[in-house]
Structure 1
Amino acid sequence: MIKSGIDQDALVKMFAEATAKQSETLGSAVREATLKALQERELTLENIRKVLKTVTQAASTGTAQNPAGSMDVEQLLGKAFAGMDAALLQTVEAQRKALAQFVNQGVDVQDKHMKSALANLEQMENVFFTTVSRATRETGDSLRAPWQHVLDAMKLKGTDTGAQASVSVEQLLAQAQAALRDGRANGVHAARAMMDSYAALVSGVLIGMSDALQPEAVPDSGRSRKTQAQA
């Protein structure tokens, strides 16, 4: 069954049949499925929530059917979360690239649409945790504790999505200050008009990223906040 652009049956089957040794491939599969679904719609918070909920439910259903022991169950769910995190990391970069275009054209960060876009980018990690947490409430009793362990561990560590979103906002604000100093205001009216269709523009950027469906190393700026703090 296809829901929110996700082939739920395929994901359910994959998690139901996965062994501990095969779990490494799950993260990549979840990443690709999540990213593909996000590419097929406007990148609004509502659509992001729908995709994350669908992926979480499919992973939960499949894991519940898997005969693995409790430790393996937590590992499977952790791979599902990691795959979604990797996909969201790509959407953060797509948003950064789109917003950078507006900043370069002189759109003020205090502009209503720009402020909203920056706020949405900044709360990506919170949206991620909240959506997955709510979706897990609909799972069976046997999965609630393992899911909670996964979420608690990731909240302590911090997601790559959250770390990169924070860095992106800082970069955009610094870029805006530089543009203001340079008196850069070319095309500002056209840019403001484009902001009205911002979600569609970001979707286009995400689709156009040449490495969108290829595994890649997480950039230094995308490391977890805990890792950065220890550096």
Structure 2
Amino acid sequence: MTKTGIDQDALIEMFATASAKGTEQVRKAVGDATLAALQGRELSLKNIRAVLKTVAQAASTGAAQNAVAGVDPEDLLDKAVAGMDDALVKAVEANRVALQQFVNQGADLREKHLKKALADLEAMEDTFIGALRKATEAAGAQANAQWAPVLEKLQAGGTLSGQKAATTAEQFVNQMQTAMRDSRAAGMKAAQTLAESYAALVSGVLIGMSDAMAQAGSGAAAAKKSRAK
């Protein structure tokens, strides 16, 4: 068991003995192992990178050892990537739920830690592909040759988790911009109301002043008329 909480020996054995018909089971097992490891630690990019690297290294070692007839190492690695991707999709969804809870409680997405959460989501796919590249670089020439077409397809087509992460980040960025527009609109409306109130107040004062002046004028005229008598 590694520091990431993954039993690498068990994963290596699974890849080494997988049959051509058992690749879907490989995908599920990798997904379950990756998800369990992610659930056992703080969901930071650093920890995600470490878990993915550990799984990829086990996949490389096991696929290289597999001598079962009809098994394509590239297919095994494809299924390993798909399993890791499945787990990351759930990690992205966990981020979305947590962010929405913060927003519902009145948190501002411009706050430092929430801005970092959005940035981490946007970096999810690069983190995934980068972790796989690091793992293959350390695995030797044979593993590099096996991983090359897998990584090429991944780079070209992207990942489900990366797409979901990008969509989630965009959703919250749009939500933040909408909130800012609403805030500005509310501020402008309040300012307009204040301006209208001020204008009404000035009008009232002016009317009062006019009435006072009229009353003063009437008093002065009456006094002048009385003196004339």
Q: TM-score surpassing 0.5?
A: yes
| Higher relative helix content | 2
Distance (whole Å) between structure 2 residues aligned to residue 178 and residue 141 of structure 1: 51
| Length-normalised TM-score, structure 2 | 0.75
Query: 2:14 corresponds to which residue?
Result: 14
Higher relative contact order at CA 8 Å, sep ≥6: structure 1 or structure 2?
1
1:45-194 map, 5 Å:
45-68=45-68, 72-180=72-180
| Contact residue 20 and residue 70 of structure 2 kept, 8 A | no
Distance (whole Å) between structure 2 residues aligned to residue 70 and residue 54 of structure 1: 26
Structure 2 letter corresponding to 1:175: Q
| Contact residue 20 and residue 71 of structure 2 kept, 8 A | no
Distance (whole Å) between structure 1 residues aligned to residue 69 and residue 149 of structure 2: 15
Structure 2 letter corresponding to 1:121: L
Instruction: Report which stretch shifted further, 12-21 or 169-178.
Output: 169-178
C-alpha displacement of 1:178: 4.4
> C-alpha root-mean-square deviation of aligned residues, in Å?
1.8
Q: Secondary structure of the equivalent of 1:6? A: coil
| Contact residue 103 and residue 172 of structure 1 kept, 8 A | no
Larger radius of gyration: 2
How many pairs are equivalent? 183
| Contact residue 27 and residue 80 of structure 2 kept, 8 A | yes
Q: Secondary structure of the equivalent of 1:42? A: coil
Query: 2:199 corresponds to which residue?
Result: none
Q: Secondary structure of the equivalent of 2:107? A: coil
Q: Deviation digits for residues 102-123 of structure 1, max 9, x if unmatched?
A: 2222322221111111001110
Give unpaired runs (5+ residues) of structure 1: 184-231
Q: Deviation digits for residues 41-84 of structure 1, max 9, x if unmatched?
A: 11111111111111011111111111157970100011111100
Distance (whole Å) between structure 2 residues aligned to residue 101 and residue 146 of structure 1: 43
Q: 1:15 to 1:71 in 2, by over 3 A?
A: closer
1:179-218 map, 5 Å:
179-180=179-180
Distance (whole Å) between structure 2 residues aligned to residue 138 and residue 180 of structure 1: 47
Q: 1:147 to 1:64 in 2, by over 3 A?
A: same
| Length-normalised TM-score, structure 1 | 0.74
Distance (whole Å) between structure 2 residues aligned to residue 69 and residue 143 of structure 1: 19
Distance (whole Å) between structure 2 residues aligned to residue 107 and residue 86 of structure 1: 29
Distance (whole Å) between structure 2 residues aligned to residue 68 and residue 157 of structure 1: 29
